Amino acid sequence: MDTERRQSQRLAILGGKPAFSEPLHVGRPNIGDRVAFFHRVEQILNNKWLTNDGPMVREFESRVCGMLGTKHCVAVCNGTVALDIAIRALGMQGEVILPAFTFIATAHALQWQGIIPVFCDIDPHCHHIDPAQVEELITPDTTGIIGVHLWGCPCAITALSDIAQRNSLKLLFDAAHAFGCSYRQQMIGNYGDAEVVSFHATKVLNSFEGGAILTNNDVLADKIRLMRNFGFAGYDKVVYLGTNGKMSEIAAAMGVTNLDRLMDFVDINRNHHETYRALLEELPGLRILACHNDEKHNYQYVVLEIEQERFGISRDLLLRSLHAENIFARRYFYPGAHLMEPYASLYPGSEARLKNTVQVSERVLVLPTGTQLDTSGVELIGDRIRAIQKYASEIVALRTLQ
């Protein structure tokens, strides 16, 4: 479709035809070479080794270590269990400080083991935990900090490391968004006491479900390996309280297969990011989050911030208008972990110190990207957003919305 026809097409929310005939979602999986995957599945079945630290899991772990330059990668069944195990292995208890603007699993992993998640506000520019407020929240019960590398951009690693060191706190990073990203030219996976990644289907690299704990600490890595497998240190010998956090061979086969294509996925994401930026960055009231140019990035999240007064319509009405076009953009972490249960009931009143979290969660919108889209699809989404702004007053006036 040429640009003129695209722009003249009536918006779906105003009665036109949807821009896409099939729904487009945020976080559609990137899938590597199918033939290679099926070949690996054959291998697994021939081996009759389906799980329990099998050869495919070991290959996946060593490939990840090679790519990140991290000493240890312990692959597990998902990112949440990776957090659970890392938190327990680090001996966190009492209170742990984390950002309120994160996926709920970061908080659940603490609460699940009876640790109080202390929600900290974020820097409104980068959306990351604000180190200045972290300092204020430290009490005699604080044992650790969890920083989240939201949108794949590293959080304030140096400042948080300094705070953790001065206060003898454990430092864990939830790097679920940041596989393949770097900080000061070193790959994420090498910071804090440990870092946790997710290989969930929606992440840049998926193993269907999966996750890993990354660390350069030998003692910690041994402990984590034992905890992943019920604490078994040998036949008939259990030395820790453990769980079943093992990654299966078939998940690892998917992980290895997708790892072979990771650079292609990232290239596609980067191109989409540039296309979106070219189309959207001049629009008043719209900000598209930038990535640090001299660092490695996976460009997995295309994050907009909509300022209603200047943009012309609210974030939520833009979302509704996009849904009408079959573009299923998403709000993220709305309304913030602190307002979800059980936290809203357990720790009421935390909004007072979470002003930036509240404001950002009301502005953020994440757009579809990845291998599901080609450049013309991204251009079409960009054009629709421009058209929605252009016809904002007509949309706002729609009686059906009242």
Ligand X SMILES: *Cc1c(COP(=O)(O)O)cnc(C)c1O
Rule CB under 6 A: choose which of 211, 336, 368, 377 binds ligand X: 211
The distance of closest approach from Cβ of residue 313 to ligand X in the complex, given in angstroms and rounded to an integer, is: 28
CB closer to ligand X out of 198 and 350: 198
Does position 361 interact with ligand X (CB under 6 A)? The reply is no
The distance of closest approach from Cβ of residue 201 to ligand X in the complex, given in angstroms and rounded to an integer, is: 9
Phi, psi for 121 (deg, rounded to 5): -80, 170
The distance of closest approach from Cβ of residue 106 to ligand X in the complex, given in angstroms and rounded to an integer, is: 5
CB closer to ligand X out of 148 and 224: 148
Give bridge partners of residue 147 from the DSSP assignment.
173
Does position 198 interact with ligand X (CB under 6 A)? The reply is yes
Which residue stretch of 49-57, 101-109, 137-145, 341-349 sits at the interface with ligand X (rule: CB under 6 A)?
A: 101-109
Does position 148 interact with ligand X (CB under 6 A)? The reply is yes
Residues 275-314 that bind ligand X (CB under 6 A): none
The distance of closest approach from Cβ of residue 115 to ligand X in the complex, given in angstroms and rounded to an integer, is: 16
Rule CB under 6 A: choose which of 57, 68, 97, 105 binds ligand X: 105
Does position 195 interact with ligand X (CB under 6 A)? The reply is no
CB closer to ligand X out of 153 and 279: 153
The distance of closest approach from Cβ of residue 209 to ligand X in the complex, given in angstroms and rounded to an integer, is: 6
Q: 218-228 vs 79-89: helix axis angle to the nearest 10? A: 120
Does position 191 interact with ligand X (CB under 6 A)? The reply is no
Does position 228 interact with ligand X (CB under 6 A)? The reply is no
Does position 337 interact with ligand X (CB under 6 A)? The reply is no
The distance of closest approach from Cβ of residue 278 to ligand X in the complex, given in angstroms and rounded to an integer, is: 27
Does position 70 interact with ligand X (CB under 6 A)? The reply is no
Does position 117 interact with ligand X (CB under 6 A)? The reply is no
Residues 71-100 that bind ligand X (CB under 6 A): 78-80
Q: Name the residue with the smallest CB distance to ligand X.
A: 79
Looking at residue 332, its amino acid is Y
Does position 377 interact with ligand X (CB under 6 A)? The reply is no
The distance of closest approach from Cβ of residue 79 to ligand X in the complex, given in angstroms and rounded to an integer, is: 2
Burial 378-390 (b: 16+ CB within 10 A, else e): bbbbbbbbbbbbe
Rule CB under 6 A: choose which of 157, 176, 280, 388 binds ligand X: 176
Does position 101 interact with ligand X (CB under 6 A)? The reply is no
Which residue stretch of 116-124, 169-177, 237-245, 323-331 sits at the interface with ligand X (rule: CB under 6 A)?
A: 169-177
The distance of closest approach from Cβ of residue 311 to ligand X in the complex, given in angstroms and rounded to an integer, is: 26
Which is nearest to 83 in space by CA: 153, 165, 171, 173?
173
Rule CB under 6 A: choose which of 20, 60, 103, 299 binds ligand X: 103
In three state form, how does the secondary structure of the chain look? CCHHHHHHCCCHHHCCCCCCCCCEECCCCCCCCHHHHHHHHHHHHHHCCCCCCCHHHHHHHHHHHHHHCCCEEEEECCHHHHHHHHHHHCCCCCEEEEECCCCHHHHHHHHCCCCEEEEECECCCCCCECHHHHHHHCCCCEEEEEEECHHHCCCCHHHHHHHHHHCCCEEEEECCCCCCCEECCEECCCCCCEEEEECCCCCCCCCCCCEEEEECCHHHHHHHHHHHECCEEECCEECCCCCECECCHHHHHHHHHHHCCHHHHHHHHHHHHHHHHHHHCCCCCEEECCCCCCCCCCCCCEEEEECHHHHCCCHHHHHHHHHHCCEECECCCCCCHHHCCCHHHHCCCHHHHCHHHHHHHCCEEEECCCCCCCHHHHHHHHHHHHHHHHCHHHHHCCHHHC
Does position 106 interact with ligand X (CB under 6 A)? The reply is yes
The distance of closest approach from Cβ of residue 2 to ligand X in the complex, given in angstroms and rounded to an integer, is: 38
**What is the size of the binding site for ligand X (CB under 6 A)?**
14
Does position 182 interact with ligand X (CB under 6 A)? The reply is no
Number of Cβ atoms within 10 Å of the Cβ of 177? 23
Give contact residues for ligand X (rule: CB under 6 A): 78-80, 102-103, 105-106, 148, 174, 176-177, 198, 200, 211
